[in-house]
Amino acid sequence: SSARVLRGGSRVVSRGVDGTIAVFDTATGEALHLFGRRWAAPGGSFPQFSAEVEVFPSGDRVLSWGREPRATVWDLADGVAVCRLGQGHLGVILAARVFPRGDKAITGGHDRRAIIWSVGTCSRLHVLPHLTSVTAVGVLDEGRLVVTGSLQGWLTIWCSETGLRVRTLVEQPAMPMQGIGGLEAFPGGDRLVVYNHAKAVVWG
């Protein structure tokens, strides 16, 4: 499950382990909207893959993913799915990020692929192949570059316009053995904090 504070701080959006998305009033605790797909729980327990949500820069949409090979863009005003990013991944999506302008998104999956999408057309722009599962993704340089992290522990930087690889840090893996669990870019985009369950490393 995950939660994000919306612009202004008056609302919070969260996604539960069952896939449901809720928008709460932070002053009253009242649930303003409840939407999204509710997953079944075989045997009374949910799979190990997390259910995540990312807020668009405009604050009026969210991107959700987890436990299935597609991500969905939701309108927060009415809970309508405005875009489904699902023609590309062959396995569970493990990570996703929205570009600064809100016009694109990148997803990383268990199928050893990262995919850059057009949110406007709900279409696939570039497929970025990897040797192992893509467990973390990020956006750099105002969307001109993207970075991916893998279960193998390597970081790769790509050009978002062409889908071509710019650089792969293979000589000294950022997270050898344990793999990369997630990453976040510093405001200037010149450094990254890369982490997993065991440690965090500033890379730049």
Q: What is the pLDDT of residue 22?
A: 86
Q: What is the pLDDT of residue 42?
A: 44
Instruction: Read off the pLDDT of each residue in 104-120 and give the average, rounded to a whole number.
Output: 95
What are the distances in angstroms from CA 135 to CA 44, 84, 97? 26, 20, 12
Q: Which pairs with CB-CB distance under 8 Å and at least 24 residues apart come from 106-111?
A: 106/137, 106/139, 106/146, 106/148, 106/160, 107/65, 107/71, 107/137, 108/133, 108/134, 108/135, 108/136, 108/137, 108/148, 108/149, 109/69, 109/133, 109/134, 111/69
pLDDT digits (tens, 9 = 90+) for 37-90: 665 444 444 344 457 889 999 999 999 988 788 899 999 888 889 999 977 888
This prediction's pTM: 0.86
Give the separation between CA 182 and CA 188, rounded to whole angstroms: 18
Give the separation between CA 102 and CA 40, rounded to whole angstroms: 31
**pLDDT for residue 173 is more than 70:** no
pLDDT digits (tens, 9 = 90+) for 134-172: 999 999 989 999 999 998 888 999 999 999 999 987 545
Instruction: Read off the pLDDT of each residue in 191-199 and give the average, rounded to a whole number.
Output: 84
pLDDT digits (tens, 9 = 90+) for 20-35: 888 899 999 998 888 8
Both tokens assigned to 103: 């016009």
Q: What is the pLDDT of residue 44?
A: 46
